[in-house]
Chain A
Amino acid sequence: MARNILVVAEVRNGALRPVSFECIAAGRTIAEGGSVTAVLLGQADVDGSELIARGADRVLVAKGDYLKEYTPDGWLGALQQVYLAEKPDVVLMGHTGIGRDLLPRFAMRNAAGMISDAIAVKVEGDQVVFTRPIYAGKAYVTQVITGGLIVATIRPNNVAALEADAGRSGDVVQSEAAPVDLRTVVKEVVRQAATGVDLTAAKIVVAGGRGVKSAEGFRPLYELAEVLGAAVGASRAAADAGFCDYALQIGQTGKTVTPDLYIACGISGAIQHLAGMSASKVIVAINKDPEAPIFKVADYGIVGDLFEVVPHLTREFKALLG
């Protein structure tokens, strides 16, 4: 059953986000002969041909000054215009800050069902089956859309993107989006001074818990993160104690992460924290307490003082990664 797929692609810091490529790959696996179209909302200065190389058949660029920064009304209005013109069977987007803000309203505008935060997608018979975590990963469900338009967000780092193939060709079509009333106005954006790596999409996460002891205690973690190009996260205990911002919190309350490598420093491993990180590919635990539950979910465990071990790790990685 051929399906036409529309992927809402995203740009961050001037570059296409890897999760957009992952969505294209997900789209390809369920298109079954249909087309995969990527749409860029307002990001006219980005090279759309990269989306073609990653598996899209064509790229639509909806232009409009009001689309330059994300607003729910602006992007939803523009996406709806593209949707009505294209009438795809499936709309996919990364489960990013924008994806989770935009697609639920888009789904409702079209009286459609939606699967949020899918980690896998496949075709079974004539159905598209999504896998997604519940209880922040304590369990999983498979879920289908029972009829009509399929809308889904895909969690970063879970579906493999296709290798870039410069030999692929396809049209990049620009068009002007009709104006939309904006009811929310972004007055200011305060960028976090942190490493600049988005926690939920990071390939490596260095996280600190109560054992970090203070805000200052996060410094060696940031130094390690910088060498690794990693994001820094925290347990609820660290956030509650005021060692760091709640934006860093990983757990059932807080963010769910699935990096390739998770380095837990001074984190005991409460159930509510494990829920947010236990699906990471490789887990390292560094903790003074050999009985800490975090070691049960760890691939590699170090019983020791994080303030001694982490600086050594930073040096070793620096030597390794040059």
Chain B
Amino acid sequence: MEILVLLKQTFDTEAKVTVKDGRVVDDDVTLVINPYDEYAVEEALKIREAAGGTVTVVSVGTDRVDEALRRALAMGADEAVAIEPPADADEYAVASLLAAWAKGRSFDLILAGNVSVDTGAGQTALRVAEILELPHVAAAVKVEIAGGKATVHRDAEGDTEVVEVSLPTLITAQQGLNEPRYPSVPGIMKAKRKQIARVAPADLGVDLTPRTAVTSVYQATQNRRNRMISGTAEEQARELVQLLRSEAKVV
């Protein structure tokens, strides 16, 4: 089983987001594997442990992405590939790069996160499936591989759909799929010795013209009433209901 994991490095979800000079400042921010992609890495490792094969992780990112790839290697991935990001890359450009790299490498299974916690667009993996003409199943909470097929339980707005698909396919990970392992000490040592392959966008020969442009970035300021309601539980409940009706007008 040859498995590819599409991985993005993102801010730690506990990190504060600061906008300065029209961009999000990332200088002092802890970067991690996008949590949904970490589920994808874990699932890839579990499938490899059961079925054999290799797990390759690929990411489009600057030098800092090595840290995330190294962690995936330490978790147990076999190979890691970093593709240099072109300027102003959007989902179209990133997906084009990932798909161009994956093309012809005949993976049985491509796993990725359902969405990244930074842009939250959730486009890239599905675009990769489209370029590679693979079927996809998104938002998986359970994956079973047997007999050249995947049976996937997916989150469909709270309902669970059980979907069957033949390999090769692309599956995206939803929260609840698994509990990602922590890298072991031997895993970390082994990962340190591994090479991360670097690929330049020009080597992949695809159109990288972004289709979208960000015209401004800003931080929301919320004006909240911050009104505290006192009294007994019953009095508090009564006053709150009155305020929600007469002042906030939401019920």
Contact = CB atoms under 8 A, between A and B. Distances in A.
Interface of A: 72-73, 96-97, 100-101, 104-105, 107-109, 111-117, 129, 133-148, 183-192, 194, 198-200, 204, 228, 239, 245-249, 251-254, 256, 260-261, 270-272, 275, 278-279, 281-284, 295-305, 308-309, 312-313, 315-317, 320-321
B92 A111 contact: yes
Most buried by A among B35, B95, B139, B157: B157
B237 A309 contact: yes
Contacts, number: 262
A300 B158 contact: no
B126 A134 contact: no
A248 B174 CA distance: 12
A299 B225 CA distance: 4
B135 A135 contact: no
Given A146-B213, A245-B176, A320-B241, A139 B129 contact: no
6 contacts: A142-B214, A145-B212, A183-B166, A189-B160, A246-B176, A299-B224
B87 interface: no
Contacts of B192: none
Interface of B: 11, 13-17, 19, 24, 35-36, 90-92, 95, 117-124, 126-127, 129-131, 135-139, 141, 151, 155-166, 169, 174-176, 207, 210-220, 222, 224-230, 233-234, 236-238, 240-241, 243-245, 248, 250-251
A129 B176 contact: no
Given A146-B211, A252-B13, A261 B251 contact: yes
B237 A315 contact: yes
B233 A304 contact: yes
Contacts of B226: 295-296, 298-299, 301
Given A140-B219, A192-B158, A185 B250 contact: no
A116 B213 CA distance: 13
Given A113-B211, A199-B158, A105 B127 contact: yes
A256 B174 CA distance: 14
Contacts of B117: 135-136, 252-253
Most buried by B among A101, A104, A107, A147: A104
A148 to B, nearest CB: 7
B164 A184 contact: yes
Contacts of A116: 120-123
B166 to A, nearest CB: 7
Given A183-B135, A246-B175, A270 B14 contact: yes
B64 to A, nearest CB: 17
A117 B229 CA distance: 35
A108 B92 contact: yes
A301 B228 CA distance: 5
A133 B17 CA distance: 12
A238 to B, nearest CB: 13
A135 B156 contact: no
Main secondary structure of the interface of B (DSSP, over half): mixed
Given A104-B126, A304-B236, 6 more contacts: A105-B136, A136-B117, A228-B251, A247-B155, A253-B13, A299-B248
A72 B135 contact: yes
Nearest to A76: B130
Contacts of A141: 214-218
A105 B126 contact: yes
Nearest to A136: B120
A110 to B, nearest CB: 10
B186 to A, nearest CB: 28
A95 to B, nearest CB: 9
B251 A320 contact: yes
A309 B237 CA distance: 6
B165 A189 contact: no
Contacts of A189: 156, 159-162
B16 A194 contact: no
Contacts of A271: 13-16
A263 to B, nearest CB: 9
A300 B91 contact: no
Nearest to A314: B237
Contacts of A298: 224, 226
Given A105-B129, A135-B118, A140 B218 contact: yes
A97 B159 CA distance: 10
B251 A129 contact: no
B217 A139 contact: yes
Given A297-B224, A309-B233, A317-B241, A246 B251 contact: no
A253 B138 contact: no
Contacts of A305: 233
Q: Lowest 6 CB-CB distances: which A-B pairs, in order?
A: A113-B211, A312-B237, A246-B176, A183-B135, A138-B17, A308-B233
Nearest to A320: B241
B163 A107 contact: no
Given A72-B136, A101-B126, A134-B119, A198 B158 contact: yes
Contacts of B215: 129, 141-144
A184 B137 contact: yes
A2 to B, nearest CB: 22
Contacts of A136: 117, 120
A228 B233 CA distance: 19
Nearest to B228: A301
